[in-house]
Structure 1
Amino acid sequence: MKETAMAGRSPDTLDQKNVPTGNDGDERDPRPADEGTTSPATDEVPPRSEDADDETGADDETVDAESAESAEGTEGSEKAEEAETPADEKPESAVPGPKEPKPEPEPEATAEPAKPAESSETTRVIALPRTGTDRTGTDGKDADPTSDAPVPDDATRSLRKPRPSWAVDPDAPAKPVPTPREQTPEQAQKQAQKQAQKQAPERDRTPERDKAPKPKPVPEPKPARTPAAASAPDAASDAALVQRQRQEQTRKREQEREDARARLDLLARLSVPAGSSAAPRSRGRARLAMIAIPLAALLLVIAFVAVQLLRPLPDPVLTLRDSASSTTLGGDRISIPWPKEGQGAVTVAGSGVYETFGPEKSVPTASTAKIMTAYVLLRKHPLKRGEPGPTITVDAQTVAEGKAKDESRIEGLTEGQTFSQQDMLKMLMIPSGNNIGRLLARWSTKTDDQTAFVREMNEAAKDLGMKNTVYTDPSGLDKGTVSTAVDQLKLAEAVMEYDVFRDVVALPNAEIPGHGRIYNNNDRLILAGLGIVGIKTGSNTPAGGTLSWAAYKTFDGEDRLILGTMMAQHAPGPDINGGDSLVLVQDNSRKVVASVREMLTSANVVKKGEVVGHVDDRFGRRIPVVTTKSLDLVGLSGQKVTLTYGRKGDGALSRTARAGAVVGELTVGNGPDAHRIPLALKEGLTEPSLGTRLTRLG
């Protein structure tokens, strides 16, 4: 509660604003307390309309806490009762007379310049008369207690109107505030005692005040500002502050209302069914989009997962080194003395590497065709070394063909004569009897002609990979029997696998029981000391001279077999039955044999565990492919060795395989005896994981 001096105001103003008027000074305002009583502690502004409440709520909430506390204290607003004055009493400031000195301000009060007072609905200024003990004259004597004249310097108090009960902040804790409309009996008794004291002498009233019950302690009021006129600026600033707070409160309430309306509007849009007339089509579409978009996204995810899981997995891919790479055997290369014409080939048995010269085209074979006849016979009727084999009877056709001219034949045979299969093989290969070849063809197939046997010869050639060879007869006399040097070299490697055949062709001559001694047409080479052990000569006019030969050379403690062929060697001038051409081919072959025997060498061409490729599982993983064994190759010095990499089988690779599983093959060489080395996985091949299948793009 503020105390402000009212010296600056006229008595008339005070009487008009603060003191109720009446006809009789002893009579009070006949209106009840709730109809305009001006008690500073209990006056309330009657409630306004709802609109007014909204506008003034902020002002009421900002009322100073001191006013509320002073209105609540002293058990029923005792100070408010003291502030009431009868209608016949007037403030002392209203009586003209000499001015008494103003009371000294309290030490803590500070003077401020007076500002014009502004009216406030929440503040009323009333004059509080001093009690008898406080009133003194200028001469220091007590004033007449019964005197109605007011003291000129009597101060007034500025009381802030307490906040009405209906304007209290609902969130604030409730405080018991007695209203002026309801007075307890105790309050009525106290008011009667105070009224009696006012009419009694001052000395009689003082004891009564002392006997009055002490009010409850209240907070010490803030010091009054001096001069008295300073209360006006305070009131003005309070009013401005209240006004600003009211505007801020109003703005906040409006914002809250807008936010609430927006939330309600959104809730209404979401809660009203799409078919309702209250929901516009646009709202329905928006709500449908809010549901459809996430649902569509979910369906897309499900579809993507299903497609990824159901997509067929790609087959692994085997990638090896260049399909036909090569390596060169160590040492200096020695040139082979090949002739200028014809064609030929040479190899070290088991190396799978051929050295050739001349065009590889089919030419007549002459008697070298008997090598295939012996091969088919031994394959169908095999013999062991030294075993004579079954008995074969000479027929009339064989006897008759033995008397023919212009071909190689066995003469002096008689019909019904019998020979062992081994003796028949010697008469076929050593002196090259054409009539013996035809007899063996009929005996092997149990037919009257050689057609079936020739068919078997061509089948065997196909099995050996002799792609450029065709047989039309078992003797080679027919010029339609053709082949190449490379094909004849493949046949030589195959037939030399039979021990009985090697033993027969290595003989320079042989004694045949029941017939006599026979001589080898290749004895000039067999006896040359070059280790030559066969194989077969051939000569006639169309073929010229032909020869397939075999020679041994000890290398690294082992006997190495060297094989060679030479074809289409034609001697100059007329050569009836190819006799001169036969000598020519033997001489040229001897030179080749002597040369290659000195060219033998050995080299390591494959190491075990060497990485030669990989398997791509098509999911980003590559499994190395390695060789499973080493290979040391014996060949000719400086000879180029072909390395061919390929996959195993024709089907697709399995998507799962253990480590060591064979997936490919390395072929070393280009002949029938080429070496084949398995290629295996270094690590296991596994199915792709679920995550890999879901994230794959290819």
Structure 2
Amino acid sequence: MAGESPDRSKQRESSAEPTSGSANPVPEARKEADDPRLAVARASAKAPASDTATKILSVPTTDAPTDTDPDTEDDARLRAAVAAWVTDADEKPEMAAAEAEEAVAEAERAEAEEASEAAEEPSDEATEPKDEDEDEAETDAEEAAEGEAEAEEAPEPEDADGEAPEGETEAEQAPEPEAADGKAPEGEAADGKASEGEAEAEQEAPEPEAADGEEDPQGPPAPDDETRTGGAGGNDDPAEGEAEAEQKPLTPEATGVDQPTAVFKAVRPRRDVDQPTTMLKLGDTAPKPDPERTSKFVALKPADPPPPAQQERTTQQPLPPKPPLDLLAELTNTPPPPQTPLRTAARRIKIWTPLVLLLAIVFAVVQSLRPLPAPELTLTAKDSHSFAGDLQGLPWPQEGQAAMDVQGIGTFGSSGEQKPVPIASVAKVMTAYLILRDHPLKSGEQGPKIKIDQAAEEQSHAEGESTVQVTAGDEITQREALQAILIASANNVARLTARWDAGTEKAFVAKMNAAAEDLGMTNTTYTDPSGLNDTTVSTAVDQVKLAKEAMKYPVFREVSAMMEYYDYKGKKWPNWNQLVGKNDVVGIKTGTTTSARGNLVFAAKKEVGGETHTIVGAVLRQPEGGYDNTILQGALSAGDKLIRAAQDRLESVTILKKGEVVGYVDDGLGGRTPVVVTEDVTAVGWPGLEVELNFASDDLPHSAKAGTKVGTLTVGDGGTAGAVKVPVALQSDLVEPGWTDKLTRIS
């Protein structure tokens, strides 16, 4: 069969169906005009040469053909034609898979019929001479070609999946009879001759499209692949193949697979069936499945090189960096010493010791250069002192309310219910305080001029009020205005100074209430600068707070202690507070109205232990009394009794001796230097009073000599007047902290 060309239908079947050694579909079957093998096959058929395939199957006993055998030339021509046909197949479209499937089914059915007929003939027919086999094969081929042409012209029914009819499937599955004595039947020879008729008939029939589910056709075999396009025995020389076929029995093991027939007549492989071997019908030995396929697809052209990213990387890779000691050993040609725990510890010591020393030096420098903490003066003596006895027998008023303190020492207490009541002209104490606070004057200073307006002149003649005669356009000094307010209790001048200070009386009243809030006068409300309105209310405790604050101003103390004054017109105005000038009374202000009754805020002095102390008190809403039984004398009488009782009860007690340690100076790093009082410390008070002791430090140095004054010890409430103040000094030298203290400090 190496020199015989299969028919056209077999070509399309094998080209449309994948072969056993190819992974891709073969090109589409060509028409007669495009397939050069048809012309070669026809020329070979007309030549007197014998059929190579039949010759092989019949196993003749003649000697091997000579080198000039025409079959060899035909085989070479066929191989060249196949190679040209395969090369040209890449440029044309592939044939539909359904047409190839139908052609294969038809060929299988024809083979089954021929095999049945061959099985009935005597076995000796298989050994008939070669010429008779060829004649019979040609006759049978012509008849089979005419029958298949008529069969292909009629449309074949297909099932739902586009596969061959059931009859064809049964024909493919039916067992094929084998020739006796292991020889091929005569019908097989006719199969090759009938291919021309079948090819012509199939060329005229319409080509059905590939149905769903059919496999894609495989690519053509390589022209130089001996396993697919070579001779029956896989040899390139057809003469040698025929000689081997004549000398050996034609069994599947000896002959193998006729690959050219498998290419041209390739059907879908069935399980446990070798299609090329079945087509050849070799002997009576049933085909056996190959344990492993040995055929392979050889490409017609070299495969494309892989992309650069997938190319194999070089096996020479850079070496990892060596340790520093190994590199040093290579440079010095000295091998590194072996690693031991001792060498490892020594190396670590050599590395970390300089770092630790450097850190220690940096730490020492930083600690020594850090700023030293500021020294502090701390009191070690008792922070308070209590006077022995109880305070009894103070003459508190029977009506109204009263309160009394000693400035800078403490309070005697209060009497009556401390609820807001009208205070009348006592309100002028807040007016004078604000004028001096916002326009302070030095002792003996007159202050700026205040121009008298028309309202002040008109109010000079108001009935039922205490006023001073002034004329619009005239000017008075600030000091004279304060005298008119505190001594003559002039309402018109109080309103004049309010307008001068704040622009309007309403604005000045707002300042009065703000100041009262600042001083802690929680039960006080001001509605006018003079206190004439009954809506201006306060308590005795609140007025004592205000009086103690006002007595801090020297001009206020000077004016309130005057018994009389002369105005700018030369008129004398006596002080309404008739206690001033008697029994060391130095002020402050009276206030009386029918609704407010008698009110008095007073101040008196008492010298105790070489120190002068000021007693400040207030009595409100006092009834008529005194020598003339009036509300003014009632208030003055109640105030005088309290002043005298306080003066009698004040006493001085020494609580600390000179040189006694009362505290120390702490340098902030643990060093302490003791301090002592430079003189005896005396406390002024009355029985039952508890006074406080505290330090007021000066600017403390980091180093000083012994005896250096470093602060003041204060006994009392710390007021500017009346509190006892004693200097304290260092008992020993104050030295700066040493280097060790600086180095070991943490905070």
TM-score (norm 2): 0.44
TM-score (norm 1): 0.47
Between Structure 1 and Structure 2, the one with more helix by share is 2
